[in-house]
Amino acid sequence: MTEETRRTEGLFDSLRKLAITLVAIVHTRLEIVASEIDEARARLARIIVLAAVAGFCVAIAVNLLVLLVAVAFWDSNRLLAIGVLVGIFGVASVVASLMLWTAVKRRPKLLSATIAELRKDRAKLEGQ
């Protein structure tokens, strides 16, 4: 075997090992992406179910409270009582909407762990 043949074989072997390493890195990163997407989907599904149950219960409670107050003040000031309740629930809905908006703005960025790992990979590759 000549020296040039050995260099060529060594070059092809190095390229094959590099390709295997790159495929392994991509595979690992794709697994991280899939894991993060599954976690986000599960978290969103849980939030939606809890919000629906809470919303239903709050709606029933509010309707019954308004009915109770209207019946209690039927003879004296039923319109005033209903108006006060509308104001209270209006303010509560604005506060809840602002809290929801804040929670949506502060949610973790999707695929943040994957992006961080890719940044580390890039920094290591640029450093070599």
| pLDDT tens, position by position, 82-127 | 888 888 888 988 898 888 888 878 877 777 777 777 778 777 777 7
Residue 50 belongs to domain spanning: 3-127
pLDDT digits (tens, 9 = 90+) for 29-62: 888 888 888 888 898 898 889 988 988 988 898 8
How many domains does the chain fold into?
A: 1
Mean pLDDT in residue range 8-30: 82
Percent of the chain residues topping a pLDDT of 90:
2
pTM of the shown model: 0.49
CA distance 65 to 75: 17
pLDDT value at position 26? 83
pLDDT digits (tens, 9 = 90+) for 60-92: 988 888 888 888 888 888 888 888 888 888 898
Distances (CA, A) of 48 to 37, 51, 52, 103: 16, 5, 6, 14
CA distance 70 to 87: 15
